[in-house]
Structure 1
Amino acid sequence: METNILRRIFFDENNHWDRFVEKYGTRIRPIVVKEVEKFRNCGNPKNGFKHLVCEGCHDIRIVPYRCKRRFCTTCSSGETEEWSRMMAEDVMQVNHRHVIFTIDEGLRVIFQKHRHLLKPLMDEAVRIVQEWFKKKCQLTPGVIAGLHTFGSRMNFNPHVHMLVTMGGMKKDGEWKSYDYIPFPLLRKQGQTVVLSSFEAT
């Protein structure tokens, strides 16, 4: 029995994905179809595999090639864990805050039609945080940002996740801790950035 729940939802005997494509195919972006098809064929030995033989006990293992795509729950989880491990080693061992920069539900359709605005939106979210630290504390904070285009309900919901250091570097390179982020102020600045971005459309 298939243990991957998402694979069962898409490709079980009810053929949910194929029926969905048949009904809404003209409205599905080609990249989405491509990613799902890669996911469908991930781990299929027909697409190639490694043949491993133990020199001691002569045990034979066949290891199918994986798709290594972000949509695939098997492949992406390993990459996510590796990324998290690398980040944990690279970031400064100081307190951090999780900051989420999101967009009003009524405006998301504009970003869905003009997806080229998403990367600048992430850049602006980082800029807002960095500029506040520089203006208020004369510090340069550390920020790791990631853009998510879908929410937990698989609906289009572009938002930026940021891991922000609670403090930053002074001009002389000395570290200074700071334990406050003015979320209401940054929220207002974020709203201004979102509305200003529409001028480019």
Structure 2
Amino acid sequence: MPHVAARTASRDRDTGRYQSHRPEQTLLYQIVDEYYPAFAALMAEQGKELPGYVQREFEEFLQCGRLEHGFLRVRCESCHAEHLVAFSCKRRGFCPSCGARRMAESAALLVDE
């Protein structure tokens, strides 16, 4: 299993070293983090709510790639350096990181067939 996690970990293109994608630094993450809770509260005040699958998309997106929400410890087979790789949300609808990964995996399967 660590081999799979190491394979999906981001790598710095210039140095080949592991680099987490730090979702909290992206503009999309910052916008959702700032405005989604207030939007959900406003909807609740009006007696409305977003569908469950939409709520899950937003909530899991905000946890995606964050070490405090779970991680794997992986070890590089060549240099023996250890890294923590945060769990992803595995959602395709909203998360750009997970959506791109799923798209690449699907394309690879189509090419192999």
The TM-score, its normalising length taken from structure 1, stands at 0.38
* Structure 2: tracts of 5 or more residues without a match: 1-21
Which of the two has greater strand per residue? Answer: 1
Residue of structure 1 aligned with 2:81, choices 54, 59, 67: 59
Q: Please give the residue correspondences for 1:108-123 in structure 2 after superposition, counting only pairs within 5 Å.
A: none
Residue 47 of structure 1 and its aligned partner are, at CA, apart by 2.4
Q: Report the counterpart of residue 21 of structure 1 in structure 2.
A: 40
Residue 89 of structure 1 and its aligned partner are, at CA, apart by 5.2
User: 1:7–1:40: 8 Å Cα contact kept in structure 2?
Assistant: yes
Q: Please give the residue correspondences for 1:1-80 in structure 2 after superposition, counting only pairs within 5 Å.
A: 2-11=24-33, 15-25=34-44, 26-54=48-76, 56-70=78-92, 71-80=94-103
Can you list the C-alpha shifts for 1:153-195, whole angstroms capped at 9, x where unaligned? xxxxxxxxxxxxxxxxxxxxxxxxxxxxxxxxxxxxxxxxxxx
* Structure 1: tracts of 5 or more residues without a match: 91-201
Taking the aligned partners of 1:74 and 1:4, their CA distance within structure 2 comes to 11
Taking the aligned partners of 1:55 and 1:18, their CA distance within structure 2 comes to 42
Residue 55 of structure 1 and its aligned partner are, at CA, apart by 5.3
The TM-score, its normalising length taken from structure 2, stands at 0.63
Q: Secondary structure, in 3 states, of the residue corresponding to 1:51?
A: strand
User: 1:35–1:69: 8 Å Cα contact kept in structure 2?
Assistant: yes
Which has the bigger relative contact order, CA under 8 A and spacing at least 6? 2
How many residue pairs match? The answer is 87
State the identity %: 29
User: 1:6–1:73: 8 Å Cα contact kept in structure 2?
Assistant: no
| Moved segments of 4+, more than 2 Å | 1-5, 53-58, 84-90
Output the aligned Cα RMSD: 2.2
Taking the aligned partners of 1:52 and 1:10, their CA distance within structure 2 comes to 30
Q: Please give the residue correspondences for 1:176-191 in structure 2 after superposition, counting only pairs within 5 Å.
A: none
Q: Report the counterpart of residue 105 of structure 2 in structure 1.
A: 82
